[in-house]
Amino acid sequence: MGEPGTKVPLSLEELEASTNMRTGRKHVLSILVENKSGVLTRIAGLFARRGFNIDTLTVGPTEDTQVSRVTLTVDGALHPIDQVTKQLHKLVNVLKIRDLEPADTVARELALFKVNADGAQRGELMQISEIFRGKVVDVTKRAIILEVTGTTEKIEAFETMVRPFGLIEMMRTGEIAISRGRSET
């Protein structure tokens, strides 16, 4: 058994062993923060030093100019969500955190795909795009840019479809999410 301070080397299994509860699913955290300088750094820094990995992160204004919303996704299989939210709550500029329930949440992401498209391929790509309710936003002789909005799963499915054509670039915004029904997120 490799222990701190002793000369016995640590095994990788021991390094990975952990006591904290894992939920095993993706979590979307919707965080209201005071619109003050450095808030995003505080959140990002907290994640980094506690060893939590952010999968996606979006920041934007809300209906209140004093308040911004940070939406971030974290893998609950890797990190103790309870500890993540409690630590976030300790940040003085964090006003409210919601761990959104997938069933009660509408989540969307926007993605732009730049794909190789000479004459022959263009039609097929446009067909696929239509099936995914995507939009053609730019066409040149050798490439096409497609815009798709939807859940992460939908965007990943679209990516799988267009990748064989020669994916030059992909850009994704990360998810934003809003709770269903009348109550506020």
Partner 1 sequence: MRAVDALMECLKAEGVDVVFGLPGGANLPTYDAFVTGGIRHILVRHEAGGGHAAEGYARATGKVGVAFATSGPGATNLVTPICDAMMDSTPTVFITGQVRTELLGTDGFQEADTIGITMPVVKHSFMIQHPTEIPRAIHEAFHIARSGRPGPVLVDIPMDLSRAEIDYEPVTDLRLPGYQPKIDGNQKQIRQAAKALAAAQRPVIYAGGGVVNANASAELIEFATSDRFPVTCTLMGLGAFPATVEGAGGREGGREPNPQWLGMLGMHGTRAANYAMDEADLICAVGARFDDRITGKLSEFAPRAKFIHIDVDPAEISKNVPAHIPIVGDAKNVLAKLIIEYRAIGAERERLDAWWSRIEGWKAKYPLSFEDSADAEIKPQYMVKALYEATGGEAIVVSDVGQHQMWAAQYYDFPAPRRWINSGGLGTMGFGLPAAMGAAVGCPEQLVCGLVGDGSVQMNAQELSTCAQNGIPVKIFIMNNGYLGMVRQWQELFWDGKYSHVDMGEFPDFVKLAEAHGVTGMRFADKHTLVEDMKRAIATDGPVLVDVRVTREENTYPMIPAGSAAREMVG
Question: Which of residues 45 and 60 has its CB atom nearest to partner 1 in the complex?
Answer: 45
Site residues (vs partner 1, CB under 8 A): 1, 3-7, 19, 21, 33-34, 37-38, 41-42, 45, 49, 82-83, 86-87, 89-95
Nearer to partner 1 by Cβ, of 95 and 178: the residue is 95
Structure tokens at 37: 């300088």
The first and second tokens of residue 19, run together, are: 């006591």
Give dist(CA 180, CA 105) in Å, integer: 5
Closest CB to partner 1 among residues 4, 24: 4
Q: Determine contact, residues 82/21, Cβ cutoff 8 Å.
A: yes
Secondary structure class of 108 (helix, strand, coil): strand
Residue with tokens 């990943």: 156
Cα torsion angle, 14, 15, 19, 21, sign: negative
Choose between 46 and 178: whose C-beta lies nearer to partner 1.
Answer: 46
Residue with Cβ nearer partner 1 (86 or 133): 86
E strands, 62-175, in order? 67-75, 94-100, 105-116, 135-139, 143-150, 167-172
